[in-house]
Amino acid sequence: MGETPSVENSKIKQEQTERFLCPACGGNMVFEPKKQKLVCLYCSNENEVKFDKTNIIENDFYTAENTKSKNWGNEKRIIKCESCGAETILDENSTAQFCAFCGSSHIIKTQETAGMVPQSLIPFVISKDKAGELFSNWIKKLFFAPRALKSSYNMDKMKGVYIPFWTYDSNTFSDYTAERGTYYYVTETEWVGEGAERKQVTKQVRKTSWSYVSGDFSKIFDDILINASSQINKHIINKLEPFNLNELVQYKPEFLSGFLAERYSIDLKSGWKLAEGKIESDLSGEIRQHIGGDEVRGLNFSTSYDAVKFKHILLPIWISAYIYKVKVYKFMINGQTGEVDGESPISIIKVMLLILVILAVIGGGYFYFSNK
Q: With bands split at pLDDT 50, 70 and 90, how would you rate the model's confidence at 356?
A: low
Residue pLDDT, tens place only, 302-312: 999 999 999 99
Q: What is the mean pLDDT of residues 317-342?
A: 80
237 alpha carbon, distance to own chain's centre? 3
State the DSSP code for 72.
Answer: -
What b/e readout covers 305-320, taking b as 16+ CB neighbours within 10 angstroms? beebbbbbbbbbbbbb
Write the DSSP assignment of 83-125 as a string of letters.
Answer: TT--EEEEETT---SS-TTT----EEEE-----SPPSEE----
Cα gap 96→12, rounded to integer Å? 8
Residue pLDDT, tens place only, 165-181: 999 999 999 999 999 99
- Confirm if 306 and 167 have CB atoms less than 8 A apart: no
Greater pLDDT, 242 or 80: 242
Percentages helix, strand, coil for the chain (3-state, rounded to 5) are: 25, 40, 40
Angle at alpha carbon of residue 129, lines to 155 and 166, rounded to 5°: 85
Dihedral in degrees, nearest 10, Cα atoms 94, 96, 102, 105: 170
Q: Give percent of the chain above pLDDT 90.
A: 34
Cα gap 16→219, rounded to integer Å? 51
Greater pLDDT, 353 or 17: 353
Cα gap 68→210, rounded to integer Å? 52
Q: Is 128 helix (H, G, I), strand (E, B) or coil?
A: helix
Greater pLDDT, 36 or 364: 36
- State how beta strands 199-227 and 59-60 pair: unpaired
Asked if the model's pLDDT at residue 289 lies above 90, the reply is yes
Asked if the model's pLDDT at residue 360 lies above 80, the reply is no
Q: Give percent of the chain above pLDDT 70.
A: 67
Confidence (pLDDT) at 8: 34
Asked if the model's pLDDT at residue 16 lies above 50, the reply is no
Residue pLDDT, tens place only, 122-152: 999 999 889 888 887 877 766 556 555 555 5
Residue pLDDT, tens place only, 193-241: 777 778 888 888 999 999 999 999 999 999 999 999 887 777 888 888 8
Cα gap 16→74, rounded to integer Å? 12
Burial class (CB in 10 A: 0-12, 13-18, 19+), 288: middle
The structural domains of the chain, with segments of one domain joined by +, span 29-176+213-355
Mean pLDDT of the chain: 78
Confidence (pLDDT) at 145: 60
Q: What is the 3-state secondary structure (H, E, C) of 131-197?
A: HHHHHHHHHHCCCCCCHHHHHHCCHHHCEEEEEEEEEEEEEEEEEEEEEEEEEEEEEEEEEECCHHH
Find, among 273, 312, 239, 269, the residue nearest to 89 by Cα.
Answer: 312
Q: How far apart, in Å, are the Cα atoms of 153 and each of 29, 103, 116, 333?
A: 28, 13, 36, 16
Count of residues making up the chain: 372
Confidence (pLDDT) at 5: 36
Cα gap 131→136, rounded to integer Å? 9
Residue pLDDT, tens place only, 37-75: 999 888 989 898 889 888 888 888 888 765 555 555 555
Residues 6+ apart with CB under 8 A from 161: 88, 100, 259, 260, 261, 262, 316, 317, 318, 319
Confidence (pLDDT) at 15: 31
Residue pLDDT, tens place only, 67-97: 555 555 555 656 667 666 666 665 554 545 5
Write the DSSP assignment of 234-296 as a string of letters.
Answer: HHHHHHHPPP-GGG-EE--GGGGTTSEEEPPSS-HHHHHHHHHHHHHHHHHHHHHHHH-SSEE
Q: With bands split at pLDDT 50, 70 and 90, how would you rate the model's confidence at 27?
A: confident
70 alpha carbon, distance to own chain's centre? 24
